[in-house]
């Protein structure tokens, strides 16, 4: 770890650790939201500067743009869901790998095959931008490291292929801001092609096995914070956002997550794992 990275990492860990001390946030904090439903009203977005929405099922975009909300459309890079219109073409091209056990209907995609990149660049992403989105939220690219680590022989080159995919997106759409979800190993290869990173499940997570929300701590938390610190050292202008999951019946727990993430330098959002409901921040201030 470089000397440039270490101070930032210490600040992040100190802020997120239970009882960690850090300077209080003095000004009105920035807010963003991740919402994959379509029934929320424009007023529900009033507190937020940025919204990450599902590209196929979302509320009308024009009223949100009129409010000055920056809109990012969801693009799954490492998986293809059977509910997406392009799933049949992905299957026909022989791009699908195993199933994601946590999300029924989702299959991993072989990032190394040129046909997938072509489909992304020529059809999927242009379709998202045609909806009226101003930025792209790139999801599921952490599958690249998961697959390559699980089987280094059969899945050799997945991480590099993920980075090449981001480079290709940046080259084809040079003015569109790219927000990457986790995929830290990939991001480290292309830090300057990204506008921001989303640290999903940084402090608050959902255990699909036990079906319970939980706090991350110890080596698990430290690993994520170290990766974010490394990326910020590579690209000091990289925006930092966090998405934590927590029980909506525990507003105190949600408020603590917001406080911890802000102290660590993130623009945070806390919601339920299905992201089908906008969960307001407890005691949130009215202005943006």
Residue 185: which CATH number? Answer: 3.20.20.70
- Domain co-membership, 107 together with 128: yes
CB 142 within 8 A of CB 76: no
Same structural domain for residues 80 and 181? yes
Q: Sign of dihedral through CA atoms 259, 263, 268, 271?
A: negative
250 Cβ neighbours under 8 A, 6+ residues apart: none
Residues 81 and 186 reside in one and the same domain = yes
Same domain for 182 and 211, yes or no, is: no
| pLDDT band of 147, cuts 50, 70, 90 | very high
Considering 194, 218, 252, which residue would you say is the last residue of a domain? 194
Q: How many CB atoms lie within 10 A of CB 265?
A: 17
Cβ pair 186, 101 in contact under 8 A: no
Average pLDDT over residues 122-137: 96
Assess whether 204 and 189 both reside in one domain. Answer: no
For residues 245 and 140, membership in a common domain is answered with no
> Of 130, 165, 194, at which residue does a domain stop?
194
For 50-112, give the secondary structure using H, E and C. EEEECCCCCCCHHHHHHCCCEEEEEEECCEEECCCCCHHHHHHCCCEEEECCCCCCEEEECCC
User: CA–CA separation, 215 vs 207, rounded Å?
Assistant: 10
Distances (CA, A) of 94 to 73, 89, 110, 257: 26, 9, 9, 42
Query: Pseudo-torsion of CA 18, 196, 237, 259, nearest 10°?
Result: -20
Question: Mean pLDDT over residues 20-35, rounded?
Answer: 66
59 is a domain residue:
no
Distance between CA atoms of 27 and 112, rounded to whole angstroms? 45
Number of domains in the chain: 2
Same domain, 88 and 158: yes
How confident is the model over 236-288, as pLDDT tens digits?
A: 999 999 999 999 999 999 999 999 999 999 999 999 999 999 999 997 543 44
Same domain, yes or no: 175 and 259: no
User: In the prediction, which pLDDT does 20 show?
Assistant: 41
Burial class of 50 by CB neighbour count within 10 A (0 to 12, 13 to 18, 19+): buried
Pair 250, 243: CB distance under 8 Å: no
Exposure string (b/e) for 68-89, b if CB count within 10 Å is 16 or more?
A: ebbbbbbbbbbbbbeebeebee
142 and 154 co-located in one domain: yes
The reply to whether 182 and 80 lie within a common domain is: yes
- Is the predicted pLDDT of residue 206 greater than 90, yes or no? no
Domain boundary among 194, 217, 240: 194
46-95 pLDDT, tens digit per residue, is 999 999 999 999 999 999 999 999 999 999 999 988 888 888 888 889 99
| Domain, as residue range, for 7 | 1-17+34-47+197-280
């Amino acid at each position: 770890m470089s000397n440039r990275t270490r101070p930032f990492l210490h600040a992040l860990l100190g802020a997120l650790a239970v009882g960690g001390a850090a300077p209080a946030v003095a000004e009105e904090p920035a807010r963003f939201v991740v919402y994959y439903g379509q029934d929320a009203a424009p007023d529900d977005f009033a507190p937020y500067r940025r919204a990450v929405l599902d590209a196929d099922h979302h509320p009308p975009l024009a009223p949100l743009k009129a409010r000055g909300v920056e809109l990012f459309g969801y693009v799954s890079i490492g998986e293809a869901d059977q509910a997406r219109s392009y799933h049949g073409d992905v299957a026909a091209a022989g791009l699908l790998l195993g199933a994601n056990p946590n999300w029924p209907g989702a299959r991993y995609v072989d990032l190394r095959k040129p046909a997938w990149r072509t489909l992304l660049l020529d059809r999927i992403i242009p379709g998202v931008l045609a909806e009226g989105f101003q930025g792209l939220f790139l999801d599921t690219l952490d599958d690249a490291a998961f697959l390559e680590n699980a089987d280094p022989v059969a899945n050799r080159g997945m991480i590099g292929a993920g980075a090449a995919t981001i480079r290709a997106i940046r080259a084809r759409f040079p003015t569109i801001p790219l927000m990457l979800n986790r995929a830290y190993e990939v991001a480290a290869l292309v830090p300057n092609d990204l506008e921001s990173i989303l640290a999903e499940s940084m402090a608050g997570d959902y255990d699909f096995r036990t079906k319970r929300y939980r706090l991350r701590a110890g080596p698990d938390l430290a690993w994520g914070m170290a990766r974010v610190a490394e990326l910020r050292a590579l690209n000091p202008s990289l925006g930092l956002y966090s998405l934590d999951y927590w029980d909506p019946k525990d507003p105190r727990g949600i408020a603590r997550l917001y406080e911890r993430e802000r102290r660590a330098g993130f623009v945070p959002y806390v919601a339920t794992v299905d992201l089908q409901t906008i969960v307001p921040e407890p005691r949130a201030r009215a202005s943006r």
